[in-house]
Amino acid sequence: MRLLLAPMEGVVDSLLRDVLTGVGGIDQCVTEFMRVTTLLQPDHVLYRYCPELHMNSKTRAGTPIFFQILGGHSEPMAANAVRAQELGAAGIDINFGCPAKTVNRHDGGAALLKSPERIFNIVKAVRDAVDKNTPVTAKIRLGFDDPSQCLENAAAAEEAGAHWLTVHARTKTDGYRPPAHWEWLPRIREKIKIPVIANGEVWTVSDYHRCREVSGCDDVMIGRGAISNPLLFKQIRNNSQEFDSKQNWAEIKQLLPGFFRAAEIEKSGHFAQSRCKQWLKGLGLKHPEAEELFQQLKVITVPAEFKTQLEHLL
């Protein structure tokens, strides 16, 4: 049974990976997607997506990170994957699920769910190009607009040599509207032999158990649930049943000043301020204390003042 932290563009960067894997309970991370068009990206871009390449592709807590790429053309996808592997990526994950209009217009992400043969070609090109000891994995949605597309797409990914398949159990058309249709996952598992990782709408320990029961999957990937409750992975491991928001908040709030400081050192005070506001908003989904703090801090525009107030109000 493995627990994976979902890739989230603009949210789960190296700073948040560091904090969340530091809390514990996470077996595996995936970077935000790096868009691949026709070119080989320069090394500094790869390091920007995954600064942990400098640390053997692991977070400080020792959690391995796979490098995610997104694009519609096999050759540059393979070339960029090889470069990521040469720089030390623990694995390469290929994104076939991004619903963003700009991405889909440029022939990447969920647009490819309409053509299993293109999924096959891209996964195979990447698989053939990177070192055979480096896992190549794929992440799909159930389909573009028809969930039954997942069966052919899963088979294509497996046949092309994917090491495992993560399935966000919704179509592109579903967007992020609940529910996630975990009931499709047993049908995928019947069709392929590689591990299937269940993803979508796991917010609590009981969601996790229901997801495993319905999907039959041992491995689960969690995104927004982890942003709103960074202790969720630990609670799943301890099989905690009760969700005590007050007690949770007392532990979580201690993560915020360190997160601010790390973001400030990494980029700037303004960056740190906006990342903290973003995370507080996410935490507010499960913790009224975070929402209250967000309301107090959101009007502040000067980072030094924000930092002082954050520390004062916690």
Ligand X SMILES: Cc1cc2nc3c(=O)[nH]c(=O)nc-3n(C[C@H](O)[C@H](O)[C@H](O)COP(=O)(O)O)c2cc1C
Nearest alpha carbon to residue 137 among 168, 91, 103:
91
Q: How far is the CB of 282 from ligand X (least distance, A)?
A: 9
* Choices 21-29, 79-87, 220-228, 241-249; region in contact with ligand X by CB under 6 A: 220-228
On whether the CB atoms of residues 126 and 98 are closer than 8 A, the answer is no
Who's near 138: CB < 8 A, 6+ residues apart? 93, 94, 96, 119, 123, 157, 162, 165, 166
x-marked contacts with ligand X along 76-105 as a string, rule CB under 6 A: -------------------x-x--------
On whether the CB atoms of residues 67 and 92 are closer than 8 A, the answer is yes
Among 116, 143, 225, 282, binds ligand X (CB under 6 A): 225
Does the footprint of ligand X cover residue 307 (CB under 6 A)? no
Considering CB under 6 A, how many residues would be counted as binding ligand X? 21
Among 188, 202, 211, 263, binds ligand X (CB under 6 A): 202
Among 6, 123, 126, 160, binds ligand X (CB under 6 A): 6
d(CA 186, CA 214): 8
Q: How far is the CB of 302 from ligand X (least distance, A)?
A: 27
135 to 174, contacts with ligand X by CB under 6 A? 139, 168
Nearest alpha carbon to residue 50 among 7, 79, 20, 19:
7
Peptide bond into 179 cis (omega under 30): yes
Does the footprint of ligand X cover residue 204 (CB under 6 A)? no
* Choices 49-57, 113-121, 199-207, 209-217; region in contact with ligand X by CB under 6 A: 199-207
d(CA 92, CA 246): 39
Residue 2, H or E segment? none
Give backbone dihedrals phi and psi of 167, rounded to 5 degrees, phi first: -120, 115
Per the listing, tokens 């975990």 go with 182
Outline where 24-71 has alpha helix (H).
Answer: 43-49
Active site residue 276: no
* Choices 7-15, 150-158, 264-272, 293-301; region in contact with ligand X by CB under 6 A: 7-15
Does the footprint of ligand X cover residue 224 (CB under 6 A)? yes
Q: How far is the CB of 313 from ligand X (least distance, A)?
A: 26
Among 28, 41, 59, 68, binds ligand X (CB under 6 A): 68
Q: Which residues bind ligand X (CB under 6 A)?
A: 6-11, 32-33, 68, 95, 97, 139, 168, 199-202, 222-225
